[in-house]
Structure 1
Amino acid sequence: MRSLAFVFKKNTIAVIMMTVGLVVIIGIISSKTDWLSLKEYEPDNLIMLQDLEYGNRSFTCTGSTYDSEHDQIWVCNYGRIKNDSQEKLNPSVVCLNVDFEIQNEIFLKDLFETDNINLQGITWKNGDNTLFLAIGGV
């Protein structure tokens, strides 16, 4: 019984120390960040990705990333098909130039041969031209 009480006290002290440490770290970050300047930012231009011409599919952005080596923007499109009684998906990864014009589109059905793809994120790795996708349902 005595050893169980010791373990409990030891764990409680560790949790308290971690909590105090976290509060101190948050305080330091907060004191070094000018939160008001973040609120003053206004973009020069807004791009409405849902306005891209897509025929019978709606455009729902589920992630984007910038390829600085090729000056391209990669965007995930959830790809819900419009005017359908059942939800059907045709998700894709769209490559845009810096003027937001479509350069290329990769349909995930062509890669995975399934209708059950839930595309939720994307990132680009410079150096070896690797595109990482966060997907579910495959």
Structure 2
Amino acid sequence: TIYSLREQERTRSQSLRTRLVAAMERATQTLGFTPALRMTGLLDTTVPTSHTEHLLATVGETLTNTARHARATSVDVTVEVTGTQLRLEVADNGCGVNPATTRRSGLANLQHRAEELGGSFSLRPNEPTGTIVEWTAPLPTTP
């Protein structure tokens, strides 16, 4: 238990960029290939801890869903910070979301995470094939 707590603390003290790279490495095992990662903006200095935890959980859930359902051969992950917003986009070239599928608890969880931070979640087709997940959260303003 003590080792686990220390490991969690060590992981939380790593930069967001480092943690995102680690998430891509973990996803490689389940996807069978390495997702492409693009990071833009002041991720390590602008994104608060609460946003970081939601973002990392969303990245993990999205990549897990892709591995389980999409049959994709490539995934592009983009994380960007603007002056006012944190944005995640995950685009794959898989089979897309089947409109007949009614059980979407994982997707509901992603939406809930975005809404909890005052943000948004959307899912749309990628052309010519696949799915694009977009997850955003406004960043706190500094006085």
TM over 0.5: no
Higher relative contact order (CA 8 A, sep 6+): 2
Q: Higher helix proportion, which one?
A: 2
Superposition TM-score tier, normalisation by shorter sequence: under 0.3
TM-score (norm 2): 0.27
- TM-score, normalization: structure 1? 0.27
- Greater gyration radius: 1
